[in-house]
Chains A and B, each alone.
Chain A
């Protein structure tokens, strides 16, 4: 991938995510909430960006395919549980029709997540993504998050596929 953007100096990583989406012309976000995602979704609603709150992640995926089909650059905000539950739609709609989508995913159930009941999802998330053939990367906490979001968005468009960026709590919780 080509790094085309500037590296933001904003130390508040959720703010940097939002600023990057606005800079790259994302017109709409489709979301199913998670406790880490709650506030950034509220902030999106206050910005000049449309937010759709879906009832289920597979439904959110289809809405995102529709907004991208209609010409809007589209981001999704979901928890990794949502990646696990949207598998059929991922392969038979988003990947089969080659929709470029940026998926910003709260990565629950890692060793750094204090909520114990997320661990089953954390343990299987990456093997499932590999099984689905879904392109993804884990965000690096030592690098500016804006550039990583931009590269994920670029990958999605230039490879014509969904791309999941797995985010830690400090990346995305406001």
Chain B
């Protein structure tokens, strides 16, 4: 839960960048979740949202199902989770062990300017556990986050609720956030199969 003094998103991202497995896939929610991550640790295996608030988590669930042998991380915000709380239930039901949810709890709608949440003091880890995700915990320091990142394995998805100060400014991303480019760059990096058109005798996805 949100405490009086909290680390910044950048504090957690430094730990995240330093502990991220080499083969990991990362999905980041809109706003600074994506802008700051691109500025600190851009790589082709990052999938950046630029809008679609609340949908990063379910997209990451789909990605984790499609890529079961790669660790998938998603950075989602507390406001976004409140918009689509049902996604936690679906994650709990599907229980992909390769999915880790980093849930930034800053107590505000940060991407839209810091408006108040409907309820800023929820115990989101308890909420996740109630939704069927036993491996859910509140994290209040970068050191505790580093320790949690070092604990691989386990059954089902994992949720780490990171108590965070609201961002003080909007970070200017160092790369273009063209959505189609983001998608193709990501799919190329993971070696996703390509669609072969019917006029070439295809009509199927084929692995190169």
Chain A interface residues toward B at CB < 8 A: 1-2, 4-5, 24-25, 27-28, 30, 50, 52-56, 58-74, 88-89, 92-93, 96-100, 150, 154, 157-158
Stretch at the interface among B103-111, B116-124, B139-147, B175-183: B175-183
Give the chain B neighbours of A68 by CB distance below 8 A.
Answer: 62, 66
Binary A-proximity of B11-33 (CB < 8 A = 1, otherwise 0): 00000000000000001000000
Q: Interface size on B (CB < 8 Å)?
A: 44
Residue pair B187, A55 in contact (C-beta under 8 Å): no
Residue pair A88, B52 in contact (C-beta under 8 Å): yes
Partner of B59, one of A1, A63, A98: A63
Stretch at the interface among B35-43, B82-90, B155-163: B82-90
A sample of 9 inter-chain contacts (CB < 8 A) reads A24-B204, A52-B65, A53-B93, A54-B87, A56-B86, A59-B86, A62-B58, A92-B52, A154-B203
Residue pair B86, A69 in contact (C-beta under 8 Å): no
Give the chain A neighbours of B154 by CB distance below 8 A.
Answer: none
Give the chain B neighbours of A58 by CB distance below 8 A.
Answer: 55, 84
Q: Which 5 A-B pairs have the closest CB atoms?
A: A66-B62, A70-B66, A55-B86, A71-B192, A62-B58
Chain B interface residues toward A at CB < 8 A: 27, 47, 49-52, 55-67, 84, 86-87, 89-90, 93-94, 179-180, 182-183, 186-187, 190-193, 195, 197-199, 201, 203-205
Residue pair B55, A89 in contact (C-beta under 8 Å): yes
Residue pair A71, B205 in contact (C-beta under 8 Å): yes
Residue pair A69, B192 in contact (C-beta under 8 Å): yes
Main secondary structure of the interface of B (DSSP, over half): helix
CB-nearest residue of chain B to A69:
B63
Give the chain B neighbours of A67 by CB distance below 8 A.
Answer: 62-63, 65-66
Residue pair B52, A93 in contact (C-beta under 8 Å): yes
Give the chain A neighbours of B66 by CB distance below 8 A.
Answer: 27-28, 66-72
State in angstroms the CA–CA spacing of A73 and B58 once bound together.
17
Residue pair B65, A158 in contact (C-beta under 8 Å): no
State in angstroms the CA–CA spacing of A24 and B198 once bound together.
12
Q: Check A66/B63 contact, CB under 8 A, given A56-B84, A71-B193, A158-B197.
A: yes
CB-nearest residue of chain A to B206:
A25
Nearest chain B CB to A120 CB, angstrom units? 24
Most buried by A among B66, B180, B204: B66
Q: Check A52/B94 contact, CB under 8 A, given A62-B55, A69-B186, A70-B65.
A: yes
Give the chain A neighbours of B58 by CB distance below 8 A.
Answer: 54, 59-60, 62-63, 66
CB-nearest residue of chain B to A55:
B86
Residue pair B61, A157 in contact (C-beta under 8 Å): no
Give the chain B neighbours of A30 by CB distance below 8 A.
Answer: 62
Give the chain B neighbours of A50 by CB distance below 8 A.
Answer: 65
Q: Check A24/B193 contact, CB under 8 A, given A2-B198, A63-B58.
A: no
